[in-house]
Every structure is written in C-alpha cells, then in structure tokens.
Amino acid sequence: MKKAYDQDERIANMTFTSVYPHYVTKVEKKGRTIAELHQVICWLTGYNEKKLQSFTEEKVTFETFFKNASLNPNAQLITGVICGYRVEEIENPLTQQVRYLDKLVDELAKGRKMEKILRTT
C-alpha cells in the first residue's frame, strides 16, 4: 500500500511543464502534431489553447493542473493499461486523471484515429 501512496504523492508533485516536452516528443516521433496533442489535452481537461499555453510556461504541479480542470464526462470511457496499471481501477482520483492523460497521449502516438481517442464513436 505504501508503494501506491508514494506513487500518488510523486505524481501530485510532478510539474506539467516537466512532462509536456516528453508528450510532444512522443507524438511527433510517431508523425502526429502538437495541435493534435493539444486537442487531446483540451478535450480531457476542458482547457482552451491559451490556458494550456500558460500551463506549459508555468511550473504548476499536476495536482494544480487537474484541480482547475473540468474533466470531460467521457473520461471514464478511457480504459486499458498504462505504466503497468489498469486506468479504470486506479483508486486515487488525481493519479487516475494523470494516467488518463498518459493513455490518451499513448493512443495518439500509436496512430489511433482522433474520433476514437476522443471517445466520440
């Protein structure tokens, strides 16, 4: 149980700014665009492009990033395994939200159609 708590605390204190460049690298390496990445992030969080830009410049933690987000109601449809964890079974809400984002970025990088990533079909 301590392991899960340590992971939750580590994720809460991680900054969005420190992870964002990795998201960009991952999707661009697979032929996707930053615009598509932003579309996915904005879909999940409810942020607009301007707000997302401010978060990439500031050193906000994931805790702050998601505390101010309006999570998409279809986020619960995000399922599967990411980083060895089944996202729908993660108990800590913040950790689950970060893993939702990781899963969406992973799906984008793997070439999944945007309609499927955004859970519209």
Q: What is the pTM of this model?
A: 0.92
| Domains of the chain as residue ranges with CATH | 2-116 (1.10.8.290)
Q: Can you tell me the distance from the alpha carbon of 68 to that of 71, in angstroms, rounded to the nearest whole number?
A: 9
Confidence at residue 4, expressed as pLDDT on a 0 to 100 scale: 58
Distance CA 70, CA 68 (A): 7
Compute the distance between CA of residue 80 and CA of residue 6 in angstroms, rounded to an integer. Answer: 22
Q: pLDDT tens digits, the chain, 121 residues: what are they?
A: 445 568 899 999 999 999 999 999 999 999 999 999 999 999 999 999 999 999 988 989 999 999 989 999 999 999 999 988 899 999 999 999 999 999 999 999 999 999 999 998 5
The confidence score (pLDDT) of residue 120 equals 81
* Backbone phi, psi, residue 82, to 5°: -140, 130
Radius of gyration of the chain (CA): 14
What tokens were used for 19?
A: 């992870």
Identify the CA nearest to 17 among candidates 69, 60, 63: 60
Q: How far, in Å, CA of 25 to CA of 16, rounded?
A: 15
